[in-house]
Each structure stands twice: as structure tokens, then as C-alpha cells.
Chain A
Amino acid sequence: MKTLVTVKRVPDPETTIRVKPDGSGIVTDNIKYVINPFDEIAIEEALRIKEKQGGGEVVLVSIGGKSVTEQLRTGLAMGADRAILVLCEQPLDSLAVAKLLTKLVEKETPELVLMGKQAIDDDSNQAGQMLAALLEWPQATFASKIDFAADQKSATVIREVDGGLETIGFALPAIITTDLRLNEPRYASLPGIMKARKKEIKEIPVADLGADITPRLTVVKMAPPPKKEAGKKVETVQALLDLLHTEAKVI
């Protein structure tokens, strides 16, 4: 099975994010970047599918600047076969990403597109759904377990939905987006790192794909969450109720 896996370069979830004083974005100096953790889960799943089926191809795709090469190399070191980098310096909204991915899917004709359920920078949670809509393919979002029929023509996915798990079946090709509990991504081995050096990262200028990526969204302002104020200790339940009524005005 040929699987296309999307990879986004995002700030390391462990770095402290600071918003620029003018609210136009975040301070990017000294920030460490990683593969979006949900995409890393998607890479892992694609590799497991390939290992289990004893064949197939795992192709990574990313859209962004040259610096994304770093994350693609990591994915290749984990074991992906090759990568495609759509060179694009401008910020993109989810619809533009979905349109670009549509073009790549048409070129690559994979049986499966595995994506993170969301990127941890913008937290939009839309690209997968939009891509499925544009391609008119079935979609299974928030996957926590994926199985394929013996003929590899259909899949069963357990989805993490509010209040429980939902199991759905559908025909391939399809879009699946990964949730946290799908797997624990591997770390690359040293031979893997060394093999990655020789694997192909094909660069495509964004204009060559001929998709309409005009932004539909503008970021008006970014602001850090309000600072947490120190709490107050009260002696009695009655005092607490009074304060909730008079000060916090929530009851």
C-alpha cells in the first residue's frame, strides 16, 4: 500500500511560547522545532502498516520553507522511503493546505493519506476533513486503531469521539487522521539516520502545483493567555459562597 503522510514543522511543545509585543505572531528566535506530534504518530502508523503488509511505500509530504528539510530527514530516518517538500514561504490556512495536498494526491495516487488530527501550533483541526471533501474520499478522523481488510481495499477505524469510541468501515482510498493513543512513535536508529542521508527529498515550488492558495483568513491579533492571579484562602464554605456571589459573580 502506498501511504502519503503529511508532516508539519511546529515549535517544540516543550518550549515556552512568547507572543510578540505587537501581537503579530510569536517570537521565533531560539525556538526548537519538531515534527508535529500527531504527524509523528501518522509516520509511525504508516511504517507499521508497511512492515505488517510486508511492502508498500511511505511518502512524506510537507509544505513550507527549506528549514522543513530537518523534520523530513527525521521522518526518513524513522524509515519513510522518500519525501516531497512543497516550497512555500507564505503562511497558509487549512483550505490552502488541503488544496495543495489535493494536487499532490492526484500526482502520487496513494491508497491512503495519513495526517495528524491537528497541528499543535494553530490547532485548526481542518486540513484532513477539507482534503477528504475536496477529493470526495472517505475520511476517518481521530483514529486510535486502524485495520485493513485482507485484500487491502477497505479499512476499519476506531475513532475517539466525545463520550466513547466509534468504529467505522470504509473503502480505500481514504483519509485517516491520527489521535494520540494510536501508537507510540519510534525513535530512529543510527543506521536509519545514516540511510536517511541518501533518501530523496524532492522540492516542488508551490507555484508549480497550480492551486489557489489565496488566504481566506487573516490573523488579527495574538495574545498570551491572561496571567493566573494568586488564589485566596477562605475560612468557611459560607465565605466561599459569598465571594463567588459578590466578587466572582458566578453564582
Chain B
Amino acid sequence: MDFQFTEEQEEIRKQVHALCSRFPDEYWRERDDTGEFAWDFYQAVADAGYLGITIPQEYGGSGLGITEAALVMQSIAECGGGTQACSSVHLGIFGLEPLIKYGTKEAKDKYLAKVLSGEIHVSFAVTEPDAGTNTTQISTFATRTGDGYLISGRKVFITKAKESKKMLLLTRTSPYDQVDKKTMGMSLFFADIDPKAVEVRELHKCGRKSVDTNMLFIDNLYVPKEDLIGEEGRGFYYIIDGINPERILIAAECIGMGKRAIEKAVQYSKERIVFGRPIGMNQGIQFPLADSYAKLETAELMVYKAAWLFDHGKPCGKEANIAKYMAAEAACEAADRAMQAHGGYGYIKDYDVERYWREARLFRIAPISQEMVLNYVGEHVLGLPKSY
């Protein structure tokens, strides 16, 4: 067993911290206030080459693994940008995996370099209002027309659709009631977010204001057949392929945010004097922070175990799901306790911890809810009967 990061991985962590130090708390506070997308942060991350971290070298990326990608995301979160920073680059860091694995060479040549340079943003459009967690029930439909497809339907919670030119769009190409297996008959497209056929309406969220999340109303969107990813009807499987790495990255983001919250709380608890001593001298303050730190460290082990398994081509469903579950719980609890340690100031925006608290909460819901993770563990790890 080797629990050491390599010298190069340590260097990546160090350099991401150096990059993020140019974007201090005030920067993210302002984004949270105005909702303006973090363009310069995004561009700095692109320019430093991180968007291509898992993209193969033949397409101009660095061809590194999920371990390195997770380190990048954790480091970004640790530096205080939270989900505003992470989600602004998240999809560029890993989301294009279906295109890389199953896309045509032409599509890859055409798009990957532009994603790498930060020129085109990409959204991931799966969730629908009438299907929710039950993805197989989606009804957005792609109908064949001559040399392409016409797509209509509704999507909800689609992140960054305002900045994105393209989206990985999951649709049905055979209706739900006409397939033998409900996971069949869905297709994945690398579609344009063409304003003539796609109306983007932003939703107002609890946190992460500068990274928009939207309703999409898609009405006869034309997609040429070159932009179909892989085979028609197998789209669901291409999405499923990316699910474990996605959980690993989200978990890493949670660890970073949780650690940042604890760091802030520790610093504050040393400085704040009440009853003639620093509040951090009270075990009532100290223990919850120590407990949270222990949970974060433990969850972090699971994150990098899952990443290691994935990078070595081994099954990692159990580990990736558990990492996401534990990291999201640990991060939410850490943010809540950090806020508590700050007393009334914790509720004031200038102290940043309330921002982490609002942001960390997302990860108990998305991209997969804690309940669905437990469903996975119950059914696939413990072998209990499926409950739904």
C-alpha cells in the first residue's frame, strides 16, 4: 500500500494553490453578490492547462488521471472559491469523457482543443422535470430527419447553459414503452445550445450564484448526425461510464470546502476573545471542529482510494459512491460548525463561512442525492432487495 502522492501530484497541488491565491475571498464574495460568472478565474485555469488534465495528449491535453483531477478540484475548493470556483471549471476538467471515449475523431478534432483553451464551455443536460432521479423516464426526444435529428423537450437544472455553446444532451430516440430494457433507446448528442431552438431560463438558487443553473426549453433543435456520440440507443451507458469519476470529483470538492471552513473556524476561534479567553479554548468549540476534521480526513482517504482504483482500471462504484456520501456529509457538517464557531459573525457575509454553508449543501442533493447513494450501497454492495 502506498499512500504517498507523487512529487508531481504535490507540485500540481502547490501550483493550483498559487493560481487560486490570485482570487481571494473578496473576489468570490463579489461573485456571490453580483452573480457575474468568474470569467478571469476560468480563463486562468484554462491558460494554466488544467481543463485538459484528463484529455489525452494526442488532443492537446495532459492525459493524467482522476487522481490528479481530484487534487485540482480539492485544491481549488480549499482556496476559498467553493462551488463557484469548482463548478465554473468542473465540466471542463472531466465532463467530456463520453465524447473522448465514444465520439468520432472528427468531433474530437473539432471540439477538444477549443474546450482546452477555454473557448467553448460545455453543459451537461440530463435531468428533466418529469423524470428527476429516474433518468430512464426522460421524454426529450430526438427524431431522425434526413442527415440529422430534430430534438424537442425540456431539461431542468442545467448548469452553465448561459455560457455554453455546446451541451452533452441525453434524449430518447425510442420511447420508453417501446424498448425491451428501459436503459436502452436513449442517445447522447454533443448538441449546440442554439438560441433559436433552445430557450435558457435561469433558476434562482440558494448558493453558487455566479454559476448559473437553468431550465432549457428545446424546440426542434437540429443536430447533425456527426454530433451523435457513439451508437444510437446506447447514450445512457455512455453517461453511466462517467458517473464514478464525477462522484470522485464532487467528493474532492467537498473535502476542499470542508477543510477551508474548518481552517477559517480555527483561525477565528484562536482570535476571538470572550470571557477573557479565545473561544477555541472551549471544548464546546474545539471538539466539533476536531470531529469534523477527522471526518474530512477519513472521507478524503476514500476519495483517493476510489480515484486510484479508477485510474488503475478497477471497479470503483462502491468507493466512489461512499466517498461522495461521506464527503458531502462531512463538508456540510464542517461548514455548519464553522458557522457556529463564528457566532453571529458566521451569519454575516464578510466572514465567508455562510457562503460555504449554502454551497456545500448542494452536494447532499446533486449530482446524485444521498438517498440514491444509499440505495446503491444497500442494493449493490450489501445485496439487499431493490427498494424502489
| A77-B48 Cα distance, complex, nearest whole Å | 12
Q: A189-B49, A190-B53 are in contact. Are A70 and B7 (CB under 8 A)?
A: yes
Q: Tell me, in angstroms, the Cα distance from A188 to B12 when the chains sit together.
A: 9
Q: Mark A188-215, 1 if CB is under 8 A from B, else 0.
A: 1111111011000000000000000000
Complex CA distance for A192 and B48, rounded to whole angstroms: 9
- A interface bracket (residues with beta carbon within 8 Å of B): 10 to 19
- Complex: A188 Cα to B16 Cα, angstroms: 9
Distance A189 CA – B52 CA, assembled complex (angstroms): 11
Q: Give Cα distance in the complex from A189 to B47, angstroms.
A: 8
Taking the complex as formed, is A156 at the interface, i.e. its CB lies under 8 A from any CB of chain B?
Answer: no
Given the complex, which residues of B lie within 8 Å of A77, measured CB to CB? Answer: 11, 15
Q: Is the interface of A mostly helix, strand, loop or mixed?
A: helix
Q: How far is the CA of A57 from the CA of B15 in the complex (A)?
A: 23
Considering residues A73, A77, A187, which has the most beta carbons from chain B within 10 angstroms of its beta carbon?
A187
Number of A-B contacts (CB under 8 A): 41
CA distance A180 to B5 in the complex (A): 33
With A187-B18, A193-B15 given, is the CB distance from A73 to B48 under 8 Å?
no
Say yes or no: A187 contacts B7, CB within 8 Å.
Answer: no
B49 to A74, Cβ gap below 8 A?
A: no
Which A residues lie within 8 Å of B53 (CB)?
Answer: 190
Contact A193 B8 (CB under 8 A): yes
Contact (A197, B18) CB under 8 Å given A189-B48, A190-B48, A190-B49:
no
**B contact residues around A191 at 8 Å (CB):** 49, 62
Asked if A187 contacts B8 (CB within 8 A), the reply is no
Bitwise, A67-96 to B at CB < 8 A (1) or not (0) is 001100110010000000000000000000
Say yes or no for B50: interface residue by CB 8 A criterion: yes
Q: What is the chain B residue whose CB lies nearest that of A190? A: B49
| A91 CA to B14 CA, complexed, in Å | 27
A139-164: contact bitstring with B at CB < 8 Å (1 yes, 0 no)?
00000000000000000000000000
Q: How many angstroms from the CA of A191 to the CA of B48 in the assembled complex?
A: 8
- Of B10, B12, B14, most A-chain CB atoms within 10 Å: B14
Task: Name, among A69, A191, A197, the residue most crowded by chain B CB atoms within 10 Å (CB to CB).
Answer: A191
Measured CB to CB, the nearest residue on chain B to A70 is B7
Tell me the nearest residue of chain B to A187, going by C-beta: B18
B62 near A194 (CB under 8 angstroms)?
Answer: yes
Task: Please name the residue on chain B nearest to A196 by beta carbon.
Answer: B11
With a CB–CB cut-off of 8 A, which chain B residues contact A70? Answer: 7, 10
CB distance from B166 to the nearest CB of A (A): 23
Residue of B nearest to A78 (CB): B15
Instruction: Give B11's nearest chain A residue, CB to CB.
Output: A193
- What is the CB-to-nearest-CB distance from B349 to chain A, in angstroms, rounded to a whole number? 26
A sample of 5 inter-chain contacts (CB < 8 A) reads A77-B15, A189-B47, A190-B48, A190-B49, A192-B49
